[in-house]
Amino acid sequence: MVDIDLHDGDDGVALARTLRDCYGTPSLFLSGQVPRALANRDAALGLIRKPSDPESVLGAVAYIGELRRGRNPGRVPPQLELFRELHG
């Protein structure tokens, strides 16, 4: 999970792209910066909008984990906006 506005002005979108491109690690935006998240859909798997509660975050992460394992976890949790379809 990556916030778009990081401490000391660092850029979470750039971090998400670096994680993806250099390490093959997908990210999920956890941010209140919805317009920036949507404008940079290519950088992450999806978005959990702030404010969010811990249970919602855990549910969204569990859902993504099941998708990446090639399983069908059912309905997308309401707090999660996927940017693209995932396949295991």
pLDDT single digits (tens) 24-82: 999 999 999 999 999 999 999 999 999 999 999 999 999 999 988 999 898 999 899 99
Query: In angstroms, what is the C-alpha Rg of the chain?
Result: 12
**Single-letter residue type at 30:** L
DSSP secondary structure, 29-47, as one string:
EEES-HHHHHHTGGGSSEE
Q: Specify the pTM.
A: 0.86
The token duo for 56 is 């919602």
pLDDT single digits (tens) 5-16: 888 878 999 999
Query: Degrees (nearest 5) of the Cα angle 26, 56, 52?
Result: 90
